[in-house]
Chains A and B, each alone.
Chain A
């Protein structure tokens, strides 16, 4: 059973702090990794995609991938109250291109 696991939270951080969201996956053959943000009552919105080991930065967001340890993380610098949402991790597991979703981590940024 291919799995993607996330801490459900809620993760609570003060405004301006760094929020760190983690995701582990079970299929070593996974090749592509995505972070989506989902506000309450809205649909998932792509934040970051990462395909190679290491860090990928986009504005206040940094995705970190470590295939050897089978985890991918998302760092949000200078967290804002508008970052309060559920963050979903999705992993493309295997040659059949099936995307496996985590249950999401709820983030609350407190003013």
Chain B
């Protein structure tokens, strides 16, 4: 079974530039998550999708962050414009939903200079 696929693995951009991350979940996983993780911290939820519906985006900074999950499969997370404080690892995860465990992709390490 293929795992969660994320791209790119690394991204370096200047502040005020836009950036986008892509995620392909495990086949059949209808729940998709975007997390942010800073060094020494646990993952922080940005948004959770059930199929194509965003069911929890309360922690997503909507002034600069946006996400979409067209057709309920792949998802894209965008930041525009990026700020220095956005430097972190962005993790995508998927699950079968309910009490099922999450499975993470390799993450995208974003550096904003």
Contacts and interface: CB of A to CB of B under 8 A. Distances in A.
A101 B99 contact: no
Contacts, number: 43
Nearest to A8: B40
A78 B17 CA distance: 49
A88 interface: yes
Contacts of A88: 42-43
A43 B104 contact: yes
B42 A98 contact: no
A71 to B, nearest CB: 17
Contacts of B102: 34, 46, 90, 99
A101 B42 contact: yes
Interface residues of A, number: 21
Nearest to B97: A97
A16 B42 CA distance: 28
B61 interface: no
B88 interface: no
A8 to B, nearest CB: 8
Interface residues of B, number: 19
B104 A96 contact: no
A46 B103 contact: yes
B101 A34 contact: yes
Contact of B101 (A49, A97, A102, A104): A49
A104 B42 contact: yes
B76 interface: no
A51 B45 CA distance: 22
A101 B43 contact: yes
Interface of A: 31-32, 34, 42-46, 49, 51, 88, 90, 92, 96-99, 101-104
Interface of B: 40-45, 56, 89, 91, 97-99, 101-107
